[in-house]
């Protein structure tokens, strides 16, 4: 989403689209888009079951979501991130047998791509077909330059890790996570934010906060980056980079007890709970330029207890996903 696509006024409605029936053991990880008519949802099946877990990718065909045929793997595996530059250039990352798992789709087939080892792959961003970054736990990140994958030092401490990444261009890649300081009962987490300038990763200052971690990043331009920061039990807070400094964005207001889980460019998602209950109902809010506006869901989903909530947007089209007792649901929102 660019600044030119921020609209005021009506926000429309999330509408469900057909999704294949998936086993209850499915966990959803991340959604990526490439233009208005192509999207991919990554996750894992077989979670907390006696059988080995397996990677899952759903793709939007223009009419329905379908399960993608992925390569057979010799060991249990999971996916944690997905990114796309075009309908024929999609990357999904996760882990299998103690190594990073990188899958690439060329418009015809998915293939396993060999990479150097990092401790645990968490997130991927594809800037172009020949410029891809993978981050995770440990000091090193992975970078693909169109010819080979190389290890790149991203962090200064073994007690730090990265869990989210976004890019506004080849020289404007941001990654965030957290580190641990202190020892024993005095241990606390602190946010970590690094930036790739086309040649190297360097640590940069984030929003003014001493505790917590960076949970989510989303960039539309070098001077428009959205950041979700979690501090202890206070929940997620949103900040926005204007090219010079980080500015706090007021939290969405909602009925009940709202817990914001993530942020995209101009969107937040999470769950709300009625006080005195343990049910968590999905909540999506869109930034109007002056504040957040709740976007309505179909009545049956608005009343359902949900988990694995997430979202991705191109600006005009926004996809959301959630999981209820009835299964996995994917919804589409189009600006009026």
Domain tally, the chain: 1
pLDDT digit string, tens, across residues 77-120: 999 999 999 999 999 999 999 999 999 999 999 999 999 999 99
The span from the CA of 316 to the CA of 333, in Å, is 8
CB 41 within 8 A of CB 5: no
pLDDT value for 31: 97
The proportion of the chain whose per-residue pLDDT surpasses 90, expressed as a percent, equals: 82
pLDDT tens per residue, range 13-68: 899 999 999 999 999 999 999 988 999 999 999 999 999 999 999 999 888 999 99
**What's 235's domain CATH number?**
2.120.10.70
CA distances from 296 to 5, 37, 268, 300, 332 (A): 20, 22, 13, 11, 12
Does 236 reside within a domain?
A: yes
pLDDT tens digit sequence for 236-255: 999 999 999 999 999 998 88
Structural domain boundaries enclosing 162: 117-180+189-249
Q: Is the pLDDT of residue 7 over 80?
A: no
Q: How far is CA 142 from CA 20, 123, 216, 217, in A?
A: 33, 11, 19, 18
- Mean pLDDT, to the nearest integer, of 227-243? 89
Give the pLDDT band (50/70/90) at residue 231: confident
On whether residue 245 sits in a domain, the answer given is yes
301 falls within a domain? no
Does residue 286 lie within any of the structural domains?
no
**Phi, psi for residue 247 in degrees, rounded to 5:** -120, 130
Is 232 part of a structural domain of the chain? yes
Residue 51, in any domain of the structure:
no
Instruction: Please give the model's pTM, rounded to 2 decimal places.
Output: 0.93
Is the pLDDT confidence value at 146 over 80? yes
| Residue 152 within a domain | yes
Q: How many CA atoms lie within 13 A of 13 on its CB side?
A: 8
Of 21, 2, 33, the C-alpha closest to 327 is 21
Residue 279's pLDDT band, with cuts at 50, 70 and 90, is confident
Q: Does residue 176 belong to any structural domain of this protein?
A: yes
pLDDT above 70: residue 8? no
pLDDT in tens, 127-140: 999 999 999 998 99
Query: Could you tell me if 139 and 158 are in contact, meaning their C-beta atoms sit under 8 angstroms apart?
Result: yes
């Amino acid at each position: 989403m660019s600044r030119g696509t921020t609209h005021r006024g009506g926000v429309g409605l999330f509408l469900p689209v057909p999704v294949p029936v998936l086993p209850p053991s499915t966990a959803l990880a991340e959604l990526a888009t490439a233009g208005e008519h192509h999207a991919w949802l990554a996750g894992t099946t077989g979670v907390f079951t006696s059988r080995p877990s397996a990677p899952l990718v759903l793709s939007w065909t223009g009419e329905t979501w379908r399960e993608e045929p992925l390569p057979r793997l010799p060991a249990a595996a999971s996916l944690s991130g997905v990114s796309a530059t075009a309908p024929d250039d999609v990357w999904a990352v996760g882990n299998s047998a103690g190594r990073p798992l990188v899958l690439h789709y060329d418009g015809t087939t998915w293939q396993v791509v060999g990479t150097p080892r990092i401790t645990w792959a968490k997130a991927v961003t594809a800037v172009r077909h020949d410029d891809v970054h993978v981050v995770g736990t440990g000091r090193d990140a992975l970078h693909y330059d169109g010819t080979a994958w190389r290890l790149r030092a991203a962090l200064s401490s073994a007690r730090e890790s990265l869990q989210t990444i976004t890019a506004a261009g080849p020289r404007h890649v941001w990654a965030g996570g957290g580190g641990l300081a202190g020892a024993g009962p005095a241990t606390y987490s602190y946010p970590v934010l690094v930036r790739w300038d086309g040649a190297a990763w360097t640590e940069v200052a984030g929003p003014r906060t001493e505790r917590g971690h960076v949970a989510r990043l989303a960039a539309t331009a070098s001077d428009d980056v959205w950041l979700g920061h979690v501090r202890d039990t206070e929940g997620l807070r949103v900040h926005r980079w204007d090219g010079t400094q980080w500015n706090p964005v007021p939290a969405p207001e909602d009925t009940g007890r709202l817990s914001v889980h993530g942020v995209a460019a101009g969107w937040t998602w999470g769950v709300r709970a009625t006080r005195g209950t343990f049910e968590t109902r999905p909540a999506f809010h869109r930034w109007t330029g002056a504040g957040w506006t709740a976007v309505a869901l179909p009545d049956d989903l608005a009343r359902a207890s949900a988990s694995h909530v997430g979202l991705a947007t191109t600006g005009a089209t926004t996809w959301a996903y959630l999981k209820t007792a009835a299964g996995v649901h994917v919804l589409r929102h189009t600006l009026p």
